[in-house]
A and B are shown apart, each in its own frame.
Chain A
Amino acid sequence: MSGLELLVVSGIKVVVAFAFLVLTVLVLVWVERRVVAFMQNRYGPNRAGPGGILQTLADGLKLFFKESMTPRKAQFLLYIAAPVLAVVTALLVFVVIPIGAPVTIGDTTYTLQVTDLDVGVLYILAISSLGVYAVALAGWSSGSKYPLLGSVRSAAQMISYEAALGLALVPVIMFSRTTSLAGIVEAQSGTFGGLLPAWNIVLLPSFVIFLIAGFAETNRAPFDLVEAEQEIVGGYHTEYSGMRFAFFFLAEYINMFNMAALTATFFLGGWNGPLFGPTWLRYVLPVIWFLIKSWVVVFLFIWARGTLPRIRYDQLMAFGWKRLIPVSLVWIMLAMVAIGVRRFGLPWA
């Protein structure tokens, strides 16, 4: 591809990915409110648009026209940089997720993935670490005590569970022999004995650890200590209002969808699924499988929120460090011995 063509293709992919994420968030917030409402035996938002689907748009517009205050003691530059950083890091994680099979138009093949980095997994962990800065800076620069407490808590929580998140991915990489996300999806394309799809969910402990760490990493219930209203008012974004608050909200929901999409990619076979019908359908179906799998995981996130009470902070830290990390270390050792026996035979043979 020539330089200009490359620029145009990348530009289109980036804009489409951005539009996709924003639309997803609009639907996601509504779905979450409705599902949680039905779980709590009430209706939820059902006025704006058919079934209330435009509620998020209405809320966003309202926030747009609201005053954005800057508290007196805030460090303005950092204070304004935090929500921007939150949104940018959330957008950046999605860049490496493949949402469909490569499409061939004419004699050029386009991947349905913004970019296929061969260090994809490392990139994701790096960018989600950067996301911690948004939280830490927001709390610190607000010049108020509850945001500071919330952000310190939240930063400690996020980095603790990030260790477990990374450890859960090691067996997946051993299995697929690559850290590229497209490669991981391709490695799951076969079947076991022609019956079951060869998804990485066979690494069940990894899947469970990844899902739990994902809940904690995105600050979702039952690990939503960040916004424990009874203790610390509203967490790190207490002092944010108007559009600046909307950005934190947007970033949180993009992160939630990213985590669901990553779970689908690493463990549920990504866009793999049965293909049939004419050529165009063979290009559309992988995207649909990917979306179905992602939304199933999203539903798990919402279900957990509707079901489980928030845990205490000491329980949260103890669970991360004393349960998840030892279990994932032992599981990696078991998995590497099992994979070793399968690939190289018994060590004494």
Chain B
Amino acid sequence: MTPADYLPIALMVLLGLGFSGVSLWMSWRIAPNNPTPEKLAPYECGIVPLQEPVQRFPVKFYLVAMLFVIFDVEIVFLFAWAVRMDEFGWAGIAAVGIFMLLLLETLAYVWKRGALDWNVSVRRRYRPVVAPDLEEEAA
């Protein structure tokens, strides 16, 4: 593999950028441009927007992203092994098998903890750390 193999990719990036740039520019020159305050308001099916768009969103999405990072890294390891599988023989299969069992265990753990449930109430999702007997004493 030589750097020359990556030349067409660079050319494709240039072509894509050029094509989008030229058509956006031409469309901007040709198309009418007649903004009004109503037109530029955020689209909400004709209702006047009352509040700013939410810049905070549920932490569940963040959790999904973290889980994805764990699994994506694992996939890259597996690819490297899968290409050279013949050189490692059964020892390699055993090692990767243990690795995958560990990952299944990780998945089982996050599943059990409720990280994969989407519609569970906050109370069930994150159990309070306070021990029950302490609560009774306080009461």
Residues of A within 8 A of B (CB): 6-7, 10-11, 13-15, 17-18, 64-73, 80, 83-84, 87-88, 91-92, 95, 114-118, 121-122, 125, 142-146, 148-149, 152-153, 155-156, 159-160, 162-163, 166-167, 169-171, 173-174, 177-179, 233, 238-239, 242-244, 247, 313-314, 317-318, 321-322, 325-326, 329-330, 332-333, 336-337, 339-340, 343-344, 347
Contacts of B67 in A (CB 8 A): 321
For A10, list chain B residues within 8 Å (CB): 7-8, 11
CB pair B34 A88 closer than 8 Å: no
Chain B contacts with A in 34-82, Cβ cutoff 8 A: 34-35, 37, 39-45, 49, 53-55, 57, 61, 64-65, 67-68, 71-72, 75-76, 78-79, 82
| Minimum CB distance partner of B23 in chain A | A243
Q: What are 18 pairs between A and B in contact, CB < 8 Å?
A: A18-B15, A18-B19, A64-B31, A67-B31, A68-B31, A84-B16, A145-B42, A148-B55, A155-B65, A159-B68, A159-B72, A160-B68, A170-B75, A179-B83, A243-B24, A314-B119, A318-B117, A329-B103
Interface residues in B, total, Cβ within 8 A = 69
A178 touches B83 (CB 8 A): yes
Residues A64 and B27 in contact in the complex (CB < 8 Å), given A69-B35, A233-B43? yes
* 6 cross-chain pairs, A with B, having the tightest CB-CB distances, nearest first: A144-B42, A314-B118, A243-B27, A88-B16, A166-B75, A173-B82
- Report A225 CB to chain B, min CB distance, Å: 12
Chain B residues lying within 8 Å of A344, measured Cβ to Cβ, are 89-90
Asked if A160 meets B27 with Cβ closer than 8 Å, knowing A71-B42, A114-B8, A336-B97, the reply is no
CA distance A247 to B27 in the complex (A): 12
B109 within 8 A of A: no
| A179 adjacent to B107 (CB under 8 Å) | no
A-side contacts of B33, CB under 8 Å: 67-68
Kindly state the separation between the CA atoms of A288 and B35 in the bound complex, as whole angstroms. 49
Q: How far is the CA of A116 from the CA of B75 in the complex (A)?
A: 22
- Contact check, B9 vs A92: say whether CB atoms are below 8 A apart: yes
A65-B30, A313-B118 as given contacts; A173 in contact with B83, CB under 8 Å: yes
The interface of chain B, by Cβ under 8 A from chain A, is 1, 4-9, 11-13, 15-17, 19-21, 23-24, 26-28, 30-35, 37, 39-45, 49, 53-55, 57, 61, 64-65, 67-68, 71-72, 75-76, 78-79, 82-83, 85-86, 89-90, 93, 96-97, 100, 103-104, 107, 111, 116-119
- Contact between chains at B54 and A156 (CB < 8 Å): no
A146: chain B residues at CB < 8 Å are 43-44
Contact B41–A71 (Cβ < 8 Å): yes
The docked-state distance in angstroms from the alpha carbon of A308 to that of B86 is 42
Q: Which residues of B contact A333 (CB under 8 A)?
A: 97, 100
Whether A329 lies near B42 (C-beta < 8 A) is no
Contacts of A69 in B (CB 8 A): 35, 39-40
User: Contacts A14-B8, A69-B35, A344-B89 hold; do A163 and B72 have CB atoms under 8 A apart?
Assistant: yes
What is the minimal beta-carbon distance from B29 to any residue of chain A, in angstroms? 11
Partner of B79, one of A14, A179, A321, A329: A179
Is A162 touching B72 in the complex (CB atoms < 8 A)?
A: yes
Distance to closest chain A CB from B132 (angstroms):
30
**Which residue of the partner chain, among A83, A121, A155, A178, contacts B20 with CB atoms under 8 Å?**
A83
Are B61 and A143 within 8 A (Cβ)? no
